[in-house]
Amino acid sequence: MIPKSDLPCWEIMRCENPASCLAHKTPDIPCWEIVRGLDDYRSAFNVCRDCIVYIIKQENVTLPSQEIEVILQTRGVCILS
């Protein structure tokens, strides 16, 4: 099984429309980097800082894996599609 931190964001978030997702179109760039380049509410409100994708892809994740699983089960909406 692939660790969740190695999965692309559209798989972690189970995006319903990955074809229209900016991160899916540029898979080599982390989704939070894409958001930083946008000139809208997503970058203005730092929405990535609280996103489970951003959290689990950091080197020093402090959330226990059980809590990450709960968050993923009640995940939010993909903000890039």
CA dihedral 58, 19, 74, 65 (to 10 degrees): -30
Per-residue model confidence as pLDDT tens digits over 15-55:
888 888 889 999 999 999 998 888 888 777 878 888 888 88
CB burial of residue 80 (10 Å; 0-12, 13-18, 19+): buried
The answer to whether residues 80 and 34 touch, using CB atoms and an 8 Å cutoff, is yes
Q: What's the predicted TM-score (pTM) here?
A: 0.72
